[in-house]
Structure 1
């Protein structure tokens, strides 16, 4: 069995996430404490007690999801004898999950990752005035068709393919008027559904350029090390390892397409036949099953999942 570790992105958050890990494993509690200290905020309290509106703020959601993912990594290293350099072929994360992937592979420190994601969340939220941008899911169209619709709908505005999540599941992003035009075009051209998404900003499109500029500056001021294993970059759908490439990829990711479907296909072509999603939710687990037929896909998010991971890891050795 050849393993890839995957890490979820925004939308997977839920109240109480990570609490059972902290209560059952001291190594997990230390991750949440480190993130709280790095941010100067009791983020873990927001994660466990709410309110949900506060957890759903982009500036909180991004470091919170990373914290849970890294807590899972530390628990698996402690309790299941996971050695990423020995046991894992690749790591990859969806959007902000790419930061979690890099931290899991020791390319970024946990505290630096938390601070970067706080900056990223603030920058992405502030890049476009509220009400000017939108995102929509186009379901039932392949990526090329969805991207063509976005380009046609743009006219003098911005509209672009933001996420290529899986077969027939593409998200577009841009100015409100352009996204609405794209929805109409998609419906006329056979999309099963075309719906606006409840998001606070138009992520992963050229409107995010101010946020990309801010992330370039932020990333220049943190240590980025070569990861223990290659990281599949969202914007390249290919593995990278050099610190310079990692910095460039994370900057490009802010405005670029999250090429998740292609990344899973490419990892499978490299021999990966087991995708373990570490953190909150099961979104990437479901996508892996759809994208890579026959691959094993398992989510690990709480204490009850550790034994199953250990059994799978033992069987792979």
Structure 2
């Protein structure tokens, strides 16, 4: 039996029309009805909106959670199960759902609040850096107050986050092939998110995590974990902590993983991972056709 990990993409993988081919399935209709009641707006309507409403943080995160959760349940209906799960930023909530740490509704309520808090954040900026000297980058970040490594995606792509002045100081000093400021409302995965994280914590504390059925690799600690209390504690640090995706990718072969299925729209994570680990078989399941041909 081939050991398989399921991984779940986060914000940035969304697209207009995502999940639409799934939404007439009975299971999807049930989930959409619950989601629309919890959210107060239509997930299918937002996903089909031609004005790219789905790329607004307020809507992106709940829509991704719903689409990826439906794919999780459809995979399980077909007898598929992972040996390990992980998710990138928002995707960690989907990984925890796949591991059965909480039910669909509890997870959606957390994601809804997370999206609201993050969309209201107006401080700081983020920038992606591609093709750089890692030692030079890490040295400059260490020397510069107000900036952190937010997403360590793979050896040649990272995202930094912090105050505009600190981010600019890094971008103007560290040579790279390409650097792009991201169109986000604030400095996600940095200490600037502290006030939002504290408000989120009050709600997270009230959610009871159930025993998980597979190990989870968390963004802030990429080691396999099945202790629910520890997974909840790791999640509580996620909003201000770094997404250590490069380390998660490297950890998979160490855990005997041979195949990785990216469950969600697009191929962002498989694209990142193929540059980090050459030995993994990478598969995408984001559409009904991909699901049926798995």
Aligned length: 293
- Alpha-carbon contact 2:153-2:272 (below 8 Å) kept: yes
Q: Distance in 2 between matches of 1:98 and 1:58?
A: 16
- Alpha-carbon contact 1:186-1:194 (below 8 Å) kept: no
* Structure 1 gap segments, 5+ residues each: 310-317
- Alpha-carbon contact 1:137-1:194 (below 8 Å) kept: yes
Q: Distance in 2 between matches of 1:104 and 1:220?
A: 20
Q: Distance in 2 between matches of 1:145 and 1:102?
A: 35
Choose the corresponding residue for 1:89, options 83, 88, 112: 83
Q: Which moved more, 1:132-141 or 1:198-207?
A: 132-141
- Alpha-carbon contact 1:105-1:229 (below 8 Å) kept: yes
Q: Distance in 1 between matches of 2:273 and 2:133?
A: 17
Choose the corresponding residue for 1:201, options 160, 177, 186: 186
Change (3 A) 1:257 1:145: farther
| Secondary structure, counterpart of 2:109 in structure 1 | helix
- Alpha-carbon contact 2:120-2:185 (below 8 Å) kept: no
* Displacement after TM superposition at 1:212 (Å): 1.4
* Displacement after TM superposition at 1:205 (Å): 0.6
Q: 1:80-126 CA distances to partner (integer Å, 9 max, x unpaired)? A: 322x3xxx211000001000111112111111111111111122233
Which residue matches 1:312? none
After the TM superposition, list the runs of 4 or more consecutive aligned residues in structure 1 that deviate by more than 4 angstroms. none
Which structure features the higher share of helix residues?
Answer: 1
Choose the corresponding residue for 2:166, options 169, 173, 178: 178
| Match status 1:109 vs 2:110 | no
| Secondary structure, counterpart of 1:276 in structure 2 | strand
Which residue matches 2:210? 225
Which residue matches 1:281? 266
- Alpha-carbon contact 1:142-1:169 (below 8 Å) kept: no
1:124-143 residue pairs with structure 2 within 5 A? 124-127=118-121, 130=122, 132-141=123-132, 143=134
Which residue matches 1:58? 57
Q: 1:151-206 CA distances to partner (integer Å, 9 max, x unpaired)? A: 3233xxx100000001111110000111011100112xxx2122212221110011
1:39-54 residue pairs with structure 2 within 5 A? 39-52=39-52, 54=53
Which residue matches 1:4? 5
- Alpha-carbon contact 2:8-2:264 (below 8 Å) kept: yes
Q: Distance in 1 between matches of 2:33 and 2:139?
A: 46
* Displacement after TM superposition at 1:144 (Å): 4.6
- Alpha-carbon contact 1:135-1:199 (below 8 Å) kept: yes
Change (3 A) 1:298 1:181: same
- Alpha-carbon contact 1:108-1:224 (below 8 Å) kept: yes
- Alpha-carbon contact 2:212-2:226 (below 8 Å) kept: yes
Q: TM-score, normalised by structure 2?
A: 0.95
Q: Distance in 2 between matches of 1:299 and 1:241?
A: 25
* Displacement after TM superposition at 1:50 (Å): 4.6
Alpha-carbon RMSD across the aligned residues, in angstroms, is 1.5
Choose the corresponding residue for 2:276, options 286, 291, 297: 291
- Alpha-carbon contact 1:138-1:146 (below 8 Å) kept: no
Which residue matches 2:195? 210
Q: 1:232-264 CA distances to partner (integer Å, 9 max, x unpaired)? A: 010011122222212211111111110001011
